């Protein structure tokens, strides 16, 4: 099936679309959004990145999101209110991006929204909840909106994560001559691995910034959010007892595919692991950075990756990147920018791609990566200014060519 807007049908431009992709990740630091001009010819997608913005949540919204996340208790009233407030914030960003880069008109907006709960039990994902009501985005932009992108993969037996494996596989190649990996260092670290004669795999490795951020917020009473450039960690010394306690978590040894989140790696988890240990502030950060670097390196080594492309906010933590490089001697480590997409724009570009595929009736998940029974067309579609029309069936793409001359714009709300 292919879904198109009537405008594109009449003009015969079925495979050319302007799409906005948006996400606020597990760190709930900012709404990342890109505008992309897509075209699909045969089985090759060409994607020109027209603009990227990173718009921090307001302090009030950020605090309210923090308060609904596990292990806090919340109310349905607060979830409903946040669903609206986040949806409206995403709508503001979409409108501004559309005005700046698309003459005010986009065909599709795909919004990941904000994950508030990812339900994993006995190694299986049973549910996942992203909020940020898409109707507000449809109302403001008049575009077809795709949201709730993880649930279908979960219903098909998958983890609904890491969805970025779709873009990774297209960027890295499905059957490259060497084993290549794409690593994302967000709140959680995740990796996609492709190689000769093997099915691609992907999984969440463990905490990337989640525990480091929790430690900084705890130590600073909420006035600081992260260890800028890893400066604290660089001054500290690893506490081997604490590190051993952290590494003792059974999540690391569990088989892939697997997913995790801040339901598991949060401040109370950190405080429980710390119990009775007396560790200096910088040493605490040094140990947490080492935990991330070691678990990442162990995943990279386990799958024999020789070429690694890294993205996510953790790439801006110079100390963490030095550690990872140190543990991975012999592995080529570079930013994903080498593959044509600026690291900060990668996740939003993924959701733009999912939106484009969904309205064309093409699956947006990679079953071997999420652990699903089959690949699914992702998301819930909210009609925009034009009715959504089914027109034809398409083969899934096998390649993506990304063009970008972007620098990231950071805006304040
Ligand atoms: N200059 C910096 N120095 C150190 N850490 C940084 C810096 N800039 C960003 N970060 C870290 O990156 C995090 C945000 O990264 P990112 O946006 O990739 O993660 P995310 O929102 O959790 O996304 P996702 O879960 O979707 O991967 C911040 O919370 C912070 O810990
Ligand atoms: Mg983020």
Residues of the chain above pLDDT 90, percent: 87
- Confidence (pLDDT) at 338: 95
Q: How far is CA 238 from the centre of its chain?
A: 29
Q: How far does the centroid of ligand 1 lie from the alpha carbon of residue 313, in Å?
A: 3
Which single residue is written with the structure tokens 């297209």?
A: 170
Confirm if 153 and 370 have CB atoms less than 8 A apart.
Answer: yes
* Ligand 1 atom having least distance to the Cα of 227: 4
Average pLDDT over residues 42-47: 90
Considering the chain, what is the average pLDDT of its residues? Answer: 93
Confirm if 185 and 211 have CB atoms less than 8 A apart.
Answer: no
Domains and CATH numbers, the chain: 3-149+380-410 (3.30.420.40), 165-339 (3.30.420.40)
Confirm if 282 and 202 have CB atoms less than 8 A apart.
Answer: no
* Ligand 1 atom having least distance to the Cα of 225: 29
Q: Which two tokens stand for residue 129?
A: 């909840």
The number of the ligand nearest the C-alpha atom of 316 reads 1
Q: How confident is the model at residue 15 (pLDDT cuts 50, 70, 90)?
A: confident
Q: How confident is the model at residue 2 (pLDDT cuts 50, 70, 90)?
A: very low
Residue 42: partners with Cβ closer than 8 Å, 6 or more residues away: none
Q: Tens of pLDDT along 150-188?
A: 999 999 999 999 999 999 999 999 889 999 999 999 999
The answer, yes or no, to whether residue 8 has pLDDT greater than 50, is no
Of the given ranges (55-64, 126-135, 263-272, 395-404), which has the lowest mean pLDDT? 395-404
Compute the C-alpha angle 115/116/120, nearest 5°. Answer: 90
- Confidence (pLDDT) at 389: 56
Confirm if 3 and 389 have CB atoms less than 8 A apart.
Answer: yes
- Confidence (pLDDT) at 246: 98
The answer, yes or no, to whether residue 115 has pLDDT greater than 90, is yes
Spatial CA neighbour of 190 closest among 201, 198, 179? 201
Query: What span, in angstroms and rounded, lies between the C-alpha atoms of 383 and 138?
Result: 7
Q: Is the CB of 153 under 6 A from ligand 1?
A: no
Query: What span, in angstroms and rounded, lies between the C-alpha atoms of 174 and 177?
Result: 10
Q: Cis peptide leading into 196, omega within 30 of 0?
A: no
Q: How far is CA 308 from the centre of its chain?
A: 17
Q: How confident is the model at residue 392 (pLDDT cuts 50, 70, 90)?
A: low
- Confidence (pLDDT) at 4: 36
Q: Is the CB of 295 under 6 A from ligand 1?
A: no
Q: How many CA atoms lie within 13 A of 131 on its CB side?
A: 18
* Ligand 1 atom having least distance to the Cα of 228: 3
- Confidence (pLDDT) at 409: 63
Q: Which two tokens stand for residue 166?
A: 């779709």
Query: What span, in angstroms and rounded, lies between the C-alpha atoms of 357 and 181?
Result: 23
Q: How far does the centroid of ligand 2 lie from the alpha carbon of residue 29, in Å?
A: 5
Q: Tens of pLDDT along 204-259?
A: 999 999 999 999 999 999 999 999 999 999 999 999 999 999 999 999 999 999 99
Spatial CA neighbour of 185 closest among 59, 299, 62? 299
Query: What span, in angstroms and rounded, lies between the C-alpha atoms of 384 and 109?
Result: 10
Q: How confident is the model at residue 406 (pLDDT cuts 50, 70, 90)?
A: confident
Query: What span, in angstroms and rounded, lies between the C-alpha atoms of 147 and 76?
Result: 20
Which single residue is written with the structure tokens 């200096």?
A: 280
Q: Is the CB of 317 under 6 A from ligand 1?
A: yes
Query: What span, in angstroms and rounded, lies between the C-alpha atoms of 134 and 28?
Result: 18
Confirm if 190 and 183 have CB atoms less than 8 A apart.
Answer: yes
- Confidence (pLDDT) at 5: 35
């Amino acid at each position: 099936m292919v879904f198109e807007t009537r405008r594109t049908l009449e003009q015969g431009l079925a495979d050319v679309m302007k799409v906005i992709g948006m996400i606020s990740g597990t760190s709930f630091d900012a709404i990342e959004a890109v505008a992309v001009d897509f075209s699909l010819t045969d089985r090759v997608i060409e994607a020109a990145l027209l603009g990227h913005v990173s718009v921090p949540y307001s302090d009030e919204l950020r605090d309210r999101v923090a308060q609904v996340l596990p292990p806090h208790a919340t109310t349905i009233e607060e979830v409903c209110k946040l669903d609206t407030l986040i949806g409206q914030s995403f709508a503001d960003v979409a409108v501004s991006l559309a005005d700046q880069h698309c003459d005010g008109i986009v065909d599709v907006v795909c919004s990941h929204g904000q994950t508030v709960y990812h339900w994993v039990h006995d190694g299986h994902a049973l549910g996942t909840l992203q909020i940020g009501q898409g109707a507000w985005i449809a109302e403001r932009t008049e575009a077809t909106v795709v949201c709730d992108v993880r649930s279908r993969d979960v219903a098909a037996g998958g983890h609904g994560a890491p969805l970025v494996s779709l873009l990774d596989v297209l960027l890295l190649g499905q059957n490259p001559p060497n084993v290549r990996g794409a690593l994302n260092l967000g709140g959680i670290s995740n990796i996609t691995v492709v190689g000769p004669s093997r099915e691609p795999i992907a999984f969440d490795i463990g905490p990337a910034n989640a525990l480091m951020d929790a430690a900084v917020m705890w130590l600073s009473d909420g006035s600081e959010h992260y260890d800028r450039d890893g400066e604290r960690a660089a001054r500290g010394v690893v506490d081997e007892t604490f590190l051993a306690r952290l590494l003792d978590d059974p999540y690391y040894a569990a088989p892939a595919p697997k997913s995790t989140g801040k339901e598991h790696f949060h401040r109370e988890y950190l405080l429980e692991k710390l119990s009775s240990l007396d560790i200096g502030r910088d040493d605490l950060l040094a140990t947490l950075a080492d935990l991330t670097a070691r678990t990442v390196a162990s995943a990279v080594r386990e799958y024999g990756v020789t070429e690694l492309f890294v993205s996510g906010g953790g790439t801006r933590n110079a100390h963490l990147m030095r550690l990872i490089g140190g543990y991975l001697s012999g592995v080529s480590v570079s930013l994903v920018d080498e593959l044509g997409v600026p690291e900060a724009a990668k996740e939003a570009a993924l959701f733009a791609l999912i939106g484009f595929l969904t309205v064309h009736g093409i699956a947006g998940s990679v079953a071997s990566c999420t652990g699903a029974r089959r690949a699914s067309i992702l998301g819930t579609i909210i009609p925009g200014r034009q009715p959504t029309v089914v027109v034809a069936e398409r083969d899934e793409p096998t390649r993506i060519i990304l063009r970008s001359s972007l620098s990231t714009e950071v805006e304040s709300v």
